[in-house]
Amino acid sequence: MDRWVGRVALVTGASSGIGHSVAKALVTLGMKVVGCARTVEPIQVLAREMQNQQGSLTAIRCDISKEAEVKNLFQTICKHKKLGTIHVIVNSAGLAHEAPLLSGDTSQWRSMLDVNILGTLTCTREAVNLMEEQGVDDGHIFLLNSMSGHRVLANKNIHFYGSTKYMITALTEGIRNELREKKTQTRVTAISPAVVETNFFGRMYNDTDRAQEFLSSAKVSDCLTNAASGGNKYCLFQMQDNFSLT
């Protein structure tokens, strides 16, 4: 990770869960991290806690489902005297609703698409544009996928959510192809954990106790920093309970 020291990372969904853990890890490793979320107070608290670390954390409020807010986020980063560009983007923001395919609420489907797909892709597009404008040719794009993006479980409540993650699988390959066309050294990595111990499942099922049974967000963060330190231009980490990497 030495090559990332002093460079800039954007982490979406940094107020909790995987995004929060990743932001903390990247600051510890010496990066200048921008953490964004709809609720910034937890990021601001973490920034104060990390003041004595090698890196830094800047909290910016952004609802990635709103394109205008995403564009404003990147303008803020570009104009910030201590930031100015992006070298790494971690697309960690995501949500799920209990919305079955044959009986779900359309507004909940749309909400998942707006955040999990359109928000992720808008952030990625703007990050790549900023990298190109600032001459960054060795960046790294991370997409937080899921094992639900590679298999369909017999659980109607997560079928639509899983569909958005299948699209992340396709988008990762599409981004890889477009980066290759640009002849850039910027990489794309998709990380696909099984169920992670965050408040994500607690919110979805209103069962916070159940969320304590799963994979820790810190281990997903470890996987991400390992991928950032090297490896192939396209890596698909399928994290299961035994943390096998493929």
The residue count of the chain comes to 246
Cβ burial of 183 (10 Å; 0-12, 13-18, 19+) is exposed
141 alpha carbon, distance to own chain's centre: 9
Q: Which residues of the chain form beta strands (DSSP E)?
A: 8-12, 32-37, 56-61, 88-91, 140-144, 187-193, 196-197, 215-216, 234-239
Provide the token pair at 21.
Answer: 């853990």
> CA nearest 134: which of 180, 187, 80, 175?
80
Can you tell me which residue has the tokens 């510890």? Answer: 28
Candidate list 161, 166, 205, 234, residue with the active-site label: 161
Report the distance separating Cα 154 and Cα 18, nearest Å. Answer: 25
**Structural contact between residues 222 and 22, judged by C-beta atoms closer than 8 angstroms:** no
Can you tell me which residue has the tokens 């960690």? Answer: 92
Active site residue 205: no
Report the distance separating Cα 13 and Cα 77, nearest Å. Answer: 16
The secondary structure of 129-144 as a DSSP string is: HHHHHTT--S-EEEEE
Catalytic residue IDs: 161
